[in-house]
Amino acid sequence: MLYADDAAICSRSPESLEKMMSVIVRVAGLLELMVSEPKTEIMCMLPKGIEERPFTVSATGQTYKQRDRFVYLGRTISADNKADREIKSRSCRAWKCYRRNSASMYDRRRANRQLKIRLLQAEVVETFLYGCASWSLTTEHYAKLNETHRQFLTRCVGWSRRKRSHRPLSYAQAVIQAGCEETIEATVRKRRLCFAGFVMRMEDNRLPKHILLGAMAGGVGYRGGQEDDWVSRLGEDLVAFNMGDEKEGGKWKESAKDPEVWYHKVEDGAAWFMRKWHRQEAEESAKRQREGEERATGQ
């Protein structure tokens, strides 16, 4: 995969990777170019249950270091295929982006709320979710993402400055007050499904399609835990968006061939997800209120 003067090379074995690098270094030399040894790094990503062993890759006198993570096109890629480091990195970048305009816009009391939220979504949230279509997230990851989004929203609506309230604003209340159409979880799932449709429409020889969809198995995870696998997450997205019938027999692949049809199906699924989410949050809020009243009555 090429981007400007950067290249990402995938191989199934160290020996094959070494041969590919030898060819690249040799061809670059014919064009009077050079592959930078200090900037070239290798990383091994293995399936679960297989122990990683250190190895080296050399090509025409160059030896490349093995890393457990590296940054490519602004994204943190980890050998364990987990999104924890990437989420932490994205969160730090989003807060940096927020603080850059906090005094002049986000934390400014007289600033138009609608304008603040629109700018927050266009600038901070986009920085926060950069590359999220390729993430493999668990329930804990979604909770962290939603909590960070809640903090952004509560500051924008001015809740943190209300001295009379000692109870923090819930995420559902923050989403409603800010007028947001989607939660972070809904946005991530929607973008992943849209990206899956885009990959599905690629030619069969394209590397992203071969890697991401070559082993589509319907999103079945390991017993006793969540599988850190993009394919499994895709199956979960279909179920979460009330599109479980699309998962059966790989029907979604046929639907994804028409970009307009697929986009409308994903949009409808996201709307259904949000209606269900708001209903569940309202029920949980009512339940907590009843429990609080019962405790107060008991005292």
pLDDT, tens only, 187-214: 999 999 999 999 999 988 887 787 777 6
The more confident residue out of 162 and 239 is 239
Residue 18: pLDDT above 90? no
Number of Cβ atoms within 10 Å of the Cβ of 183: 24
pTM for this structure?
0.80
Alpha-carbon gap, residue 75 to 89, rounded angstroms: 8
* Cβ–Cβ < 8 Å for 154, 174: yes
Among 259, 258, 265, CA closest to 238:
265
In which region does residue 179 sit, left (phi positive, over 0), alpha (psi from -120 to 50) or beta (all else)?
left
Per-residue pLDDT reduced to its tens digit, 41-73: 888 877 666 676 777 788 878 888 888 877 777
Mean pLDDT on 110-128: 93
User: Which pLDDT belongs to residue 118?
Assistant: 94
Structure-model confidence comparison of residues 266 and 21, the more confident one: 266
Write out the two tokens for 142.
């979604």
Are 97 and 120 in contact by the 8 Å Cβ rule? The answer is no
Query: Residue 2 forms beta bridges with which residues?
Result: 7
Query: Percentage of the chain surpassing pLDDT 90?
Result: 40
- Asked whether the predicted pLDDT for residue 161 surpasses 90, the reply is no
Q: Output the pLDDT for position 47.
A: 67
Of 15-29, 36-50, 153-167, 171-185, where does the model show the most confidence?
171-185
Residue found by looking up tokens 């990959």 in the block: 199
Q: Quote the CA–CA distance of 256 and 197 in Å, as a whole number.
A: 5
